[in-house]
Amino acid sequence: MSAPGFAPDALDEFGCPTWISELAIDDPNHLLHVVRDLGPADALELLGAERRSITSCELPAERPDRWTSLPRAAIAPLNPTAVLLAGRIGEWTFVYDDLGLTLGLPQPEGQSLEAAQLLSDKGKVAATGFVTMDGPAGFIYAVDGDLLTSQELSALEELADDTPAEVRGAFETAGAYDIELDDYINMRAACILAGLPSTMRGLRHIPLLVAPLY
């Protein structure tokens, strides 16, 4: 099986880009943020990481066990609640959250903002593709702090009629994967939007930063 924007060996059996599935734990609850015109360290800080905790990262060859993500293995023996891995390709930065904690971010007023809104502030563009272990999967897209797309989604046909053209184009290129619930169409679309690599080999050629979240 394959999707139009990916080579057959670039996706796992669930339609997830292999570089993401190789980062993730088994049965993951995780997400991928992408943002244009914001550096990786600044993105990590906006998502809640302390600047002093952000370090360069060389990913291990493999996970030590099925319940330890590759980014977590990279910062062991630290044992934070979640680990964020970030890198940049051209204008786009990506942040992988191995536990999906940064989907919504609390604000001083007691409210919560979608992370994509916060990342896209001051004229930027940001998106989040998320997949939960037992619940929904979906896609969020924001421009200049305004939320333009936010929906649960497991099929190309479920895109809302008012979906922005840039997002619709990314989903059409991400394509359909021949399984009953194509939850990973959301992360595939985020990868297409930001021009991210589709394999772990490609990821390892990018300078990476890692940060714990407690």
What's the whole-number mean pLDDT along residues 161-170? Answer: 96
Nearest residue to 13 (alpha-carbon basis) of 186, 177, 187, 213: 177
pLDDT of 67 > 60? The answer is yes
Q: In 50-184, which residue ranges form alpha helices assigned H by DSSP?
A: 70-75, 115-119, 165-174
79-101: per-residue pLDDT in tens?
999 999 999 999 999 999 999 99
pLDDT, average across residues 170-198: 92
Other beta carbons less than 10 A from residue 142's beta carbon: 25
* pLDDT the model gives residue 8: 76
User: Averaged over 39-57, what is the pLDDT?
Assistant: 97
pLDDT above 70 (res 2): no
Residue carrying the six token digits 């971010």: 105
More confident residue, 106 or 65: 65
Output the pLDDT for position 135: 79
Give the other-Cβ count within 10 Å of 55's Cβ.
12
Choice between 176 and 160, residue whose per-residue pLDDT is larger: 160
Cα distances from 148 to residues 72, 78, 137, 151, in angstroms, run 32, 37, 17, 10
Reduced to 3 DSSP states, what percent helix, strand and coil does the chain have, rounded to the nearest 5? 25, 30, 45
Q: Is the pLDDT of residue 77 over 80?
A: yes
**How large a percentage of the chain has pLDDT more than 70?**
99
Cα–Cα distance, 88 to 131 (Å, whole number)? 22
Neighbours of 4 (CB within 10 A): 11
Phi, psi at residue 201, to the nearest 5°? -60, -45
CB atoms near residue 26 (< 10 Å):
11
38 or 3, which is more confident: 38
- Please say if the pLDDT value at position 76 is more than 90: yes
pLDDT in tens, 19-45: 999 999 999 999 999 999 999 999 999
- What would the pLDDT profile of 108-150 be if each residue is shown by its tens digit? 777 789 999 999 999 999 999 999 988 799 999 999 999 999 9
For the stretch 106-114, contacts whose Cβ atoms lie closer than 8 Å and that sit 24 or more positions apart, written own/partner, are 114/140, 114/142, 114/147, 114/150
Residue count of the chain: 214
pLDDT band per the 50, 70, 90 thresholds, residue 51: very high
- State the Cα angle at 153 between 152 and 158, rounded to 5°: 120
| Global confidence as pTM | 0.96
pLDDT value for 119: 98
